[in-house]
Amino acid sequence: MTPFGERLRTLVDQRGALCAGIDPHASLLADWGLSDDVGGLERFALAAVEGLAPHVSCIKPQSAFFERHGSRGIAVLERVIAESRSAGALVILDVKRGDIGSTSQAYADAYLDPASPLAADAITASPYLGFGSLQPMIDTAERHGAGIFVLALTSNKEGPEVQHARSGGGTVAGVVLDHLRTLNAGVSPLGSYGAVVGATIGESEEDFAINGPILVPGYGAQGGTDDDLDRLFGGSGGNLVIPSSSRGLLAAGPEPAALADAVRRIQQS
């Protein structure tokens, strides 16, 4: 299969860089006039796919909001993945998994092996058991042409106590970025191993030039702006910045046409 980075680069050139998150919060279901049960979840998620997936390069479903509805919620997630891909979008499954050994491999098999009904084009992963703990996921992604977005600098207030800690002369986040830079070295047009960097982290002196994609949650309703993207990444050559908006887009629902209009407004701004 064509590597994820190459597929992403091609699709962004066609559709733009915006990633649309599908996060079925109970409050959003209520805002759409839907019940907080699997029936409401299904109507919400599939309307979001209909309105968003044909118009953006990436769809990012947050797995936890489907998992909380049990096996029937997972079945809805499987449909979201399949229908988003049928509409031409790449799917980044937001699972933030991180474990060791055979458990890490099991996560990789669940989310990155095309034989699984939950297989996505890429996943989010946590490196904070040591970057080497992600090796089963990296090997599986390499085998199947998938991608991984690794948490580097997140915008939650607890993040700095780990991410800003010093390790080997730099920060822990810097070590994560160095590993990604190594994985993507020499790859053209774009590596398949990306970083997750929050749009609202404030100032940063990290080197974000990793020759790979940077997924930037928090864009839009959570406060991230185009100025933030320019400030953080404007001088980082060889990257592809993917701003991700969830609530800002989903607030336009429940009509799929209104969701599509919200995408167009952002893309034209």
Q: Which domains does the chain have, with CATH numbers?
A: 4-267 (3.20.20.70)
Please tell me the predicted confidence (pLDDT) of residue 94.
98
d(CA 44, CA 41): 5
Q: Answer yes or no: is pLDDT of 45 > 80.
A: yes
d(CA 215, CA 218): 10
Please tell me the predicted confidence (pLDDT) of residue 236.
61
Contacts of 98 by beta carbon, 8 Å cutoff, 6+ apart? 104, 125, 126, 127, 128, 129, 133, 134
What would the mean pLDDT of 34-62 be, rounded to a whole number? Answer: 98
The average confidence (pLDDT) of the chain is: 95
Residue type, 233: F
> What percent of the chain lies above the pLDDT cut of 90?
86
Please tell me the predicted confidence (pLDDT) of residue 238.
65
- DSSP string of 17-48? S-EEEE---HHHHHHTT--SSHHHHHHHHHHH
What would the mean pLDDT of 11-28 be, rounded to a whole number? Answer: 96
In 3D space, the residue among 106, 155, 158, 150 whose CA is nearest the CA of residue 128 turns out to be: 150
Segment 154-208, tens digit of pLDDT: 999 899 999 999 987 899 999 999 999 999 999 999 999 999 999 988 888 899 9
Predicted confidence band at 262 (pLDDT cuts at 50, 70, 90)? very high
User: Which residues does the annotation mark as catalytic?
Assistant: 96
Q: 3-state class of 236 per DSSP? A: coil
